[in-house]
Amino acid sequence: MKFINYLEGITGISIYPLTSLLLFFTFFIVASILVMRTDNGFINHMKNMPLEKESND
Amino acid sequence: MELEKFSYDNKIPKYFAIACILWGVVGMLAGVLIAFQLAFPFLNLDMAATTFGRVRPVHTNAVIFAFVGNGIFTAVYYSLPRLLKTKMYSHLLGKFHFWGWQLIIVAAAVTLLSGYTTGKEYAELEWPIDIAITLVWVVFGINMFGTILTRRERHLYVAIWFYIASWVTVAMLHIVNSIELPISFMKSYPVYAGVQDALVQWWYGHNAVAFFLTTPYLGLMYYFVPKAANRPVYSYRLSIVHFWSLIFLYIWAGPHHLLYTALPEWAQSLGTAFSIMLLLPSWGGMLNGLFTLRGAWDKVREDPILKFFVVGVTCYGMSTFEGPMLSLKNVNAISHYSDWTIAHVHIGALGWNGFMTFGMMYWLIPRLFKTDLFSKKLASSHFWIGTFGIILYAIPMYWAAFRSYFMFKAFTPEGQLQYQFIDIVQTTIPFYIMRAIGGTIYLGGVLLMVYNLIKTAKKGFFVESEEVEAAPLSVEYVPTGKKFWHSFIERKPILMLVASLLVVALGGIFELIPTFLIKSNIPTISSVKPYTPLELQGRDIYIREGCYTCHSQMIRPFRYEVLRYGDYSKAGEFVYDHPFQWGSKRTGPDLAREGGRYPDSWHFNHMLDPTSMSPGSVMPKYPWLFRRDLDMSSTNSKIYAMRKLGVPYENGYEKNANKDLITQAEKISASLKIDKISISSKKEIISLIAYLQRMGTDIKSEIK
């Protein structure tokens, strides 16, 4: 039940912020490139989803 | 392919819409009451249930979970089936979800006013209600995923990604932050203490803002803004990048609520870095919403719905610009504990959540009742009244924040503090009055909307369900046009769920785990000892009365704070604090080193009538603490629970704890007697005095 002080220490705490920054940066770049190279037809289909006619009247 | 007939249910969205507006009015009324209480303390009415410390959590919880919560569910239950061309998975689960949630809200209001609270902001509800929330949330999830899995549209529209990510993240946050050890029905202690509790709490608190107030409302924006403007969203590409970066970054930013506190430096920096980066996806979302109206600005002039959306999205942009700025340490030094934070959250709550909700309601209610809005003119008036209310609310708060900052750090040429705390409180009161008026005006606008919508509903007739038809999903997927990478995940909702959870859990793990693991992060201080039984009981009264809503227990390492409140706070001082009580707002002074500052009799008189000891104080009176006897029967289980959580009480101490409690209480009662005050040592006030006199004294003795 005691949540504190399980381990006496971990070396190199700076690895946490560095890893996170790197992870995000890579992810962001990859996502952006992929998004740029997307087919326009598909994008238009997705875009118009909320505007599709929904009832018969 | 043959078309299948099915129908969209309108009953559940209608229920949620009514609940949203009803609780909105209640929550805002509570807000108006507490706003006036800060200026006119007699409005606390000298009763426990109507005192600021208890009403304030009712206000925050009602606005967040009742008003915005029901707003989210209205949007989901209306848009999800339509975007997926199917009916909601289960009407029964929908009903359970609706009534379960409303029951939780009622239970929350009753228990918070009765003083049952965990003392952790926006997570104040006690453990039985926490369990009920989990249950209802799971039911909501089953209903949502059931719908998604039985859909007739292969790809999930961007609004639905936001719904999915919100659902899974809120589930994670709620569970992690609510891990607590029950000691009786309606009372528990969190397993985390001090710095860890603070970190978990603000990881939760910040992301409750992110994944309860922001992402579901972005989903709402992506559905209702195109609907109302009758044009597609500006950039679908932007929405993809914006979605993933937003959920990726948000989860890391929690520690920016704890800058200059005793939190380890690396965690503070991590929070700042991610908060700055967060500006990009936030503004991506704002621009996407605003640009959707490009070429339609003539419509905005005519249509009150679009006006609400434009100002709502603009307020989102403003507060998400402000957020990263507030996480810079030098700006945070000014804003933290001040009214700036209050202004910031109300730009978000009144502007973004409020106006987006109103826009949705003005669009939705006429459609549910198959008629036109009763009065466009009234809706337009509501818009202007609301906007004016926000301005009148926010500007005095910003002003007050800077004014008090300059007063706090003003020194005389001799190097002494120029102003007493009470001087600063006094000059802030006019701003509190203006703010309360601003809030009242905003509420007036809402009442106008209630009238308008009731008239609209009466004009039309309720359409219980809408019959539609659509083709079922083909077994084989044939992509239209070229293959699109993201369509892969848009076709796989479960993968989407797992990916979202992974992304947010990663942030949580990196942020939280190190503080749990490393001893050097929380330097222990040998002179810091566990609370005595009487002090522990007093601390629980401090929590019960919501003292943390106005008093912090965290002195930052600034000259003007150290001179005013005492030596700055160290992480090791809080290792036995389940829960931590650092607070987030100083309407009253910091109490971290309150112990020994005044005699017992000062506290006695001050709690009975604060103005007797501190003329001009806006603190409420606490007469019931002098009438009620302390519940000593709970001491045993409290000490036992604390030991279970790692507080080093000796084995079996709980059996003798009340003996020590009585001895200490009699000592305090005797010291009061010397100052000609006679009161039984059994009263609650005695234990509160014991706690107040203990605060920060452990480390004082070490410095000597």
Tell me the per-residue pLDDT of B232-278, one tens digit each, with 9 for 90 and over. 999 999 998 889 889 888 888 888 888 887 777 777 888 898 899 89
pLDDT tens-digit readout, B317-327? 999 999 999 99
> Which tens digit of pLDDT belongs to each residue from B1-48?
688 999 999 999 999 999 999 999 999 999 999 999 999 999 999 999
Chain B CB contacts of A23 below 8 Å: 506
Q: What tokens were used for B555? A: 């002195």
Q: Which residues of A touch B274 (CB under 8 A)?
A: 20
| Residues whose CB is less than 8 angstroms from the CB of residue B654 and which lie 6 or more positions away in sequence, other chains included | B635, B636, B637, B638, B639, B640, B643
User: Which band of pLDDT confidence, cut at 50, 70 and 90, is reported for residue A57?
Assistant: very low
Number of A–B residue contacts, CB under 8 Å: 140
Report pLDDT for B249: 87
Contacts of B7 in chain A (CB under 8 A): none
Taking CB atoms and an 8 Å cutoff, what residues of chain B touch A49? 83, 153, 155, 157
CB spacing of B226 vs A51 below 8 angstroms: yes
pTM: predicted TM-score of the whole model, two decimal places: 0.93
Question: Does the distance separating the beta carbons of B83 and A48 come in below 8 Å?
Answer: no
First to last CA, chain A: 61
The amino acid present at B164, given as its one-letter code, is I
CA distances from B628 to B48, B57, B638 (A): 12, 23, 19
By CB atoms closer than 10 A (0-12, 13-18, 19+), residue B592 is buried
Identify whether the C-beta of residue A20 lies closer than 8 Å to the C-beta of residue B434. no
Element (H, E) at B7: strand B4-9
Q: Which chain B residue is nearest to residue A26, measuring alpha carbons?
A: B245
Mutate to test the interface with B, among A2, A4, A39 (most CBs of B within 10 A): A4
A1 to chain B nearest CA, in Å?
A: 6
- Amino acid letter for position B311: V
Residues of chain B contacting residue A33, judged by C-beta atoms under 8 Å apart: none
More confident residue, B154 or B368: B368
More confident residue, B492 or B702: B492
Average of pLDDT values for B172-181? 92
Q: Which residue of B has its CA nearest to A43?
A: B236
Q: Which residues pair with B411 in a beta bridge?
A: B417
Element (H, E) at B24: helix B11-39
Is B493:B233 a contact under the CB 8 Å cutoff?
no
Q: Answer with the residue of higher pLDDT: B526 or B459.
A: B459
* Other beta carbons less than 10 A from residue B87's beta carbon: 17
Say if the Cβ atoms of A42 and B83 lie within 8 Å. Answer: no
| Interchain pair A17, B269: CB under 8 A | yes
Q: Which residues of A touch B158 (CB under 8 A)?
A: 46
Rounded CA separation B30/B56 (Å) = 7
Contact list in A for residue B484 (CB cut-off 8 A) is: 38-39, 42-43
Query: What was the pLDDT predicted at B704?
Result: 42
Taking CB atoms and an 8 Å limit, are A42 and B157 in contact across chains?
no
Give B34's contacts (C-beta < 8 A, 6+ positions apart): B52, B55, B56, B59
pLDDT of B521 reads: 52
The pLDDT of residue B194 is above 70: yes
3-class secondary structure, B25:
helix
Classified as helix, coil or strand, B188 is: strand
The alpha carbons of chain A give a radius of gyration, in whole angstroms, of: 23
The C-alpha atoms of residue B429 and residue B587 are separated, in whole angstroms, by 11
Please name the residue ranges forming H helices in B369-492. Answer: 376-408, 421-459, 485-490
Check residue A4 and give its pLDDT.
37
Enter the tokens of residue B573: 């001082």
CA B197/CA B311 separation, integer angstroms: 37
Q: Rounded to an integer, what distance in angstroms lies between the CA atom of residue B530 and that of residue B620?
A: 30
The DSSP line for B222-236 is HHHHHHHHTS--S-H
Closest Cα in chain A to B271: A17
Nearest chain A CA: its distance from B553 CA (Å): 21
pLDDT tier for residue A2 given thresholds of 50, 70 and 90: very low
Nearest by CB to residue A1, choosing from B83, B191, B196, is B191
Cβ atoms B476, B141 nearer than 8 A: no
The nearest alpha carbon in chain A to B228 belongs to A51
Mean pLDDT, to the nearest integer, of B597-615? 96
Distance from CA of B422 to the nearest CA of A (A): 39
Q: For the residues B675-680, what does the mean pLDDT come to?
A: 94
Mention every residue, 6+ apart, whose C-beta is less than 8 A from residue B88: B9, B12, B77, B80, B81, B94, B143, B146, B147
Q: What residues of chain A lie within 8 A of the CB of B240, using their CB? A: 31, 35
- Cα separation, B373 vs B369, whole angstroms: 10
Q: Is there a contact between A13 and B223 if contact means CB atoms under 8 Å apart?
A: no
As a whole-number percent, the residues of chain B with pLDDT over 90 amount to 80
Pairing state of beta strands B187-190 and B180-184?
Answer: antiparallel
Percent of chain B beyond pLDDT 70? 95
Cβ-nearest to B266 among A17, A24, A31:
A17
Distance CA B52, CA B45 (A): 10
Residues of A within 8 A of B83 (CB-CB) are 49-50
> What's the pLDDT tens digit per position in B417-456?
999 999 999 999 999 999 999 999 999 999 999 999 999 9
**pLDDT value of residue B525:** 79
**CA B583, CA B575: separation in Å to the nearest integer?**
16
Distance, in Å, from the CA atom of A49 to the CA atom of B156, rounded to the nearest integer, reads 9
Q: What are phi and psi of B458, to 5 degrees?
A: -70, -30
Length of chain B: 704
CB-CB under 8 Å, A24 with B245: yes
Write the pLDDT tens digit of every residue in B476-533.
666 655 555 666 677 778 887 888 888 888 777 777 766 666 555 566 778 889 999 9
| B512 and B200 Cβ atoms separated by less than 8 Å | yes
Say whether A17 and B517 touch across the interface (CB within 8 A): no
Mean of the per-residue pLDDT values for chain B? 92
- Residues of B with CB below 8 A from A8's CB? 519
Cα dihedral sign, B148-B149-B151-B156: positive
Q: Is residue B701 scored above 80 in pLDDT? A: no
Task: Out of A6, A21, A38, name the one closest to residue B517 (CB).
Answer: A6
Q: Is the CB of A50 less than 8 angstroms away from the CB of B487?
A: no
Q: Which two tokens stand for residue B551?
A: 């008093």
Determine the distance from the C-alpha atom of residue B601 to the mean position of all C-alpha atoms in its chain, rounded to a whole number. Answer: 36
Rounded to whole angstroms, how far apart are CA atoms B296 and B146? Answer: 37
* B579 upstream amide cis, omega within 30 of 0: yes
